[in-house]
Amino acid sequence: MSLQKIKQVFSKLDNCTMWSLQLLNAREVHGEFVYNAHDIMVTTQNAIMEFIKELELAYTKEKGRLSKYQTVCDYDGSAEGDRIYKIERSSELVCESWEKLLHAMANPDMKGNALDFSANAYVLKGDILIDGIQRSVNLFTIINPFKVFKHTFAWDGDSFKVLPDKYLLLHRYVDAAMINDAVYLFNMNGEKLFNMERAYKSICCNRVEEIISSGIVSDESTFRQYATSGHNPRKFVAYDENRLRKIKDDASFKNRIAEKFGIIQMPDGTFDSSDNENVNRIVKFLCKKGMIDPVNDDPVEVGGARRWM
């Protein structure tokens, strides 16, 4: 879905007149990520629709929230503020969490009072007709929506009195939008919803073992230690298996890359993985964070690499 299509979805939010609201709790329990949902009924007539209209305007007006974005691109572990990141339902980054989240939303936990529900997010759910196609839209905001207004007083007809209760506060922004079988992240808060840190750490470990098995690094244990630490796990979302294969099978290419990117080689031709800086250079190249500047032919670090349009 292009940026124009995203704008089209937000411009038609008020076409749906049957929006529903759910509280969400996403958390890790005994090493497993779990979800709970709780339906919210708002009895004030048209209150949700009025909020939806305000939300639509916040995104679609001139210099609105969508104006800061330049493109929609596949999620690659980078965190550029002018990009909306797309992840398919089938992606190994979200597929397990996605099914659990949908199951929780379809089977809300309605025990007890809503005020006792430990919400750390909420979702607005609706269906929008666009170009003759019905699209399921779920708008997630990753925040506890309950608010206690301290030192705030309300007029009750003859005097001001303290507001003693919790209030449900909806915010005019969205962290992630699930549209049919893809989710679009407007910022990195959306990662929390799908426990993506755990997912890309798992991906990182698998890719590191592939690299070790290829025989291109000198010290397996130190490479494993350095390559899986710091910000490296996020980089492995953009790991390029073709680059590894090329290094493994083409000695002249491997030597050229080592020279260009300052990767130290051992006498046997393997990359020296006893040094953290050297390992970081290997990771950056294999994860498309290292490129050659076409003007001066120098190596540069980049946020990510995508096919030229």
pLDDT per residue over 44-72, tens digit each? 879 999 999 999 999 999 999 999 999 99
Q: Record the pTM.
A: 0.87
Among the ranges given (49-63, 66-80, 151-165), the one the predictor scored with the smallest mean pLDDT? 151-165
Average pLDDT over residues 27-35: 91
Q: What HEC string does the chain produce?
A: CCHHHHHHHHHCHHHCCCCEEEEEEEEEECCEEEEEEEEECCCCCCHHHHHHHHHHHHHHCCCCHHHHCCEEEECCCCCCCCEEEEEECCCCCCHHHHHHHHHHHHCCCCCCCHHHCCCCEEEEEEEEEECCEEEEEEEEECCCCEEECCCCEEECCCCEEECCCEEECCCCCCCEEEECCEEEECCCHHHHHCCHHHHHHHHHHHHHHHHHHHCCECCHHHHHHHHCCCCHHHHHHHCCHHHHHHHHHCHHHHHHHHHHHCCCECCCCCECCCCHHHHHHHHHHHCCCEEECCCCCCEEECCCCCCCC
Q: Which two tokens stand for residue 99?
A: 């099914």
> Letter for the amino acid at 281?
R
Tell me how far apart the alpha carbons of residues 8 and 65 are, in angstroms, rounded to a whole number: 14
Residue percentage of the chain with pLDDT more than 90: 72
Tell me how far apart the alpha carbons of residues 87 and 72 are, in angstroms, rounded to a whole number: 10
Tell me how far apart the alpha carbons of residues 152 and 150 are, in angstroms, rounded to a whole number: 5
Q: Confidence class of residue 163 from pLDDT cuts 50, 70 and 90? A: confident
Helix 196-214 to helix 241-249 angle (10° resolution) is: 10
* Four-CA torsion 282, 283, 289, 291, nearest 10 degrees: 10
Residues in Cβ contact with 85 at an 8 Å cutoff, skipping those fewer than 6 apart: 72, 73, 74, 75, 76, 184, 185, 190
Cα-flanking dihedrals φ and ψ of residue 279, to 5°? -65, -40
pLDDT tens-digit series, residues 216-243: 999 999 999 999 999 899 999 999 999 9
Q: Which two tokens stand for residue 135?
A: 């699209």
Q: Which two tokens stand for residue 204?
A: 């990182």
pLDDT tens-digit series, residues 254-266: 999 999 899 999 9
- Average pLDDT, whole number, for the chain? 91
